[in-house]
Amino acid sequence: MKINHLFFLIIPTLLFLSCKSDDDSVPKSSRDQALLGQWDYEAIVSDRAVDLNGDNISNIDLLGTQEIRQCEKDNITTFTDSGPSNKPEYNVTESNLACDDNGPFSFVEEDFWSLTSNNTVIGFENRSPFRIIELSKNKLIVETDDEFEGLEYVITITYKKR
């Protein structure tokens, strides 16, 4: 009889202690530091189907299909707190699979970034802003507005930290 009582007390306690919080989200006040580093694409999704590659097949999944060239899928996105310009820099570089005449690790895009709107938006000097949907220690999900062939799209990009 005592074993049953002990069992019902120990098991729930062990289960409670073994639970780990999956919420590793970053507070808004710490987002500038959490963004720093290198990020890889995990998903790129459009709010409606689009045919970027001209094969007459439209998709909303832009990363998992052939809509984006393979050499772009492995690009590395980097946020730094200060580069040669003494401003926070954003850049996208080729990885091992370089497109066109680019060499591996050459810049595809360079810009300056800052957090705006109560640290909920990553603003840039030359590109559309990223609205932060989720930011944790290892994951960044953003939305950005884009246009292709006269139509407007909302693109959701999921990054994982390198």
Residue 2 within any structural domain of the chain: no
Q: Is residue 114 part of a domain?
A: yes
Whole-angstrom distance, CA of residue 54 vs CA of residue 57: 8
Residue 85 belongs to some domain of the structure: yes
Q: Residue 70: what pLDDT?
A: 93
Q: What pLDDT sits at residue 3?
A: 53
At residue 2, the pLDDT reads 54
35 located within any domain: yes
Task: Decide if 60 is inside a domain.
Answer: yes
Q: Is residue 91 part of a domain?
A: yes
Q: What is the tally of structural domains in the chain?
A: 1
59, 81 contact by CB (below 8 A)? no
CATH number of the CATH domain containing 101: 2.40.128.20
Alpha-carbon separation of residue 109 from 13, 72, 94, 155 (angstroms): 52, 12, 10, 17
Domain assignment present for 120: yes
Q: What are phi and psi of 115, to 5 degrees?
A: -85, 135
CA atoms within 13 A on the CB side of 10: 6
Beta strand segments in 8-129, E:
37-50, 59-61, 76-79, 89-93, 107-116, 121-124
> What phi, psi does 130 have (nearest 5°)?
-105, 125
> For the chain, which ranges sit under pLDDT 50?
5-22
User: Which of 75, 46, 60, 61 minimizes the C-alpha distance to 156?
Assistant: 46
Supply the pTM of this predicted model: 0.83
CB distance 123 to 131 below 8 Å: no
Residue 115, domain member (yes or no) = yes
Look up the domain containing 85 and give its range.
25-161
Q: Which amino acid is at 29?
A: S
